[in-house]
Amino acid sequence: MNILIINAHSSKNKGDAGIVLSMIDSLKKEFPDCKIKIKSRFPELDANIYGEEVLKTSFYTKKSFYKILYTLKLLFYLNIKNYHRDNDYKWADVVLSCGGGYLLCHRFSYALLQHLFQIKLAIDYNKPVIIYAQSIGPFYNNLMQKLTKKVLNKVTKIFVREDISLKWLEKIGVSNKSVAIVPDSAFSMDMKKSDFVDNTLANLNVKSIGPLIGVTVRDWDFPEVTNKKEHRKNYICSIVETIKYLEEQYNASILLIPQVLGPNSFNDDRIISNEIKMLCGSKNLILLDYDFHPREIKYLYSKMDLFIGTRMHSNIFSLSNKIPTVAINYEHKTKGIMKMLELYEYVIDINEITPDSLIEKVDLCIKNKTSIINKLNLIIPKIIIKAQEPSKYINNLY
């Protein structure tokens, strides 16, 4: 069995890397002798992460001039069959558009065109095409809606991570006959016991005797609001005040953990993490500025007593370890996953966050810690099994 995974982003994003690794884990269970190739935007960063052959995505560029040229080409290719050739697609028995949240647009989107082109290319080669555990939407551009509809109506099967994605597919006119809801694949990623993590935690200069709390943050451009700077300031203030509150009220130690380290400055969590650390001015707030392997970082999160996550996959990694978690929602995928776990009351929207509202959620999570752990002990094993459904579906195809 030859399997081609397309639309991979960058292993500098530990969540995106976790998705690919979990897909590999699941596929190897169904097809122990399968051969896997991965199409990535940044193969030079990913070559040593996955243990599989990593190839460069067609038509990816960071230069503005070439983006304009490639945009015109992609628009043309999306309407012409068998125009572009790629031997990796010819090699594959099945093509998987990897899990994530990239099939969306707030405006005309070169990135969306690029993702759709990769899917369309597999269709032109008459390969079975599986959309693997995706969050899909929103779509706020009519042309992008039409192109997405055109491509997705031709794939073999679509697996989405939450019901709101199903509603977006219905809204843009994609048939629901080939759509199923499954958990995010990263729930099933195997974690790796790490001496480096254990030694790092053992050597922390922690002076408090309270709980150990992990926190992930991210920069965000607030695409759905007008006063973007004020919302960003309010988000940062909410994190800072909550950290101070946890230290004073619970004598907690806080680990600020960058989940994404690139591939650009906007997606480098170390920058905003350092900003928050400076504003807190706390001795019990420690920034873990390390480039952990995704399996290691999941192991690290298993050592927390409580977790507060903006990065969705940091929440998934912590929740799969049955760690009580407060999730900060910046796209609908977070709400959908927390709803699936019956933990919707522990989600707060990034557009509406305030110090008081975040502290209230954290207090509630701490108060209900035992019941949350009991619930996760019941739900997570079922979620892990269900997260492997796309691979089982592929097995049934063959």
Task: Give the pLDDT confidence of 50-72 residue by residue, as tens digits.
Answer: 999 999 887 666 666 666 776 77
What angle do the packed helices 355-367 and 369-386 form, to 10 degrees? 90
Task: Give the pLDDT confidence of 84-116 residue by residue, as tens digits.
Answer: 778 999 999 999 999 999 999 989 998 899 999
Is residue 97 within 8 Å of 129, Cβ to Cβ? Answer: yes
Q: Where are the alpha helices (DSSP H) in 188-268?
A: 195-202, 228-250
Which of 85-89, 180-184, 195-199 comes out lowest in average pLDDT?
85-89
The dihedrals phi and psi of 138, each to the nearest 5 degrees, come to -80, 165
Q: Which domains does the chain have, with CATH numbers?
A: 2-181 (3.40.50.2000), 195-384 (3.40.50.2000)
Using alpha carbons, select from 119, 150, 106, 104 the residue that is nearest to residue 6: 119
Between CA 196 and CA 239 the distance in angstroms is: 28
> What six digits make up the tokens of 316?
């998934």
Task: Give the pLDDT confidence of 155-166 residue by residue, as tens digits.
Answer: 999 999 998 999
Contacts of 244 (CB under 8 A, 6+ apart): 280, 282
Q: Determine the pLDDT at residue 286.
A: 93
Mean pLDDT within 265-272: 92
Q: Determine the pLDDT at residue 332.
A: 82
> What six digits make up the tokens of 68?
């304009």
The answer to whether residue 305 scores a pLDDT higher than 90 is yes
The answer to whether residue 257 scores a pLDDT higher than 70 is yes
- 22: helix, strand or coil: helix
Q: Which residue has the tokens 């507060």?
A: 308
Q: Determine the pLDDT at residue 65.
A: 60
Using alpha carbons, select from 77, 5, 75 the residue that is nearest to residue 38: 5
pTM of the model: 0.92
Is residue 17 within 8 Å of 107, Cβ to Cβ? Answer: no
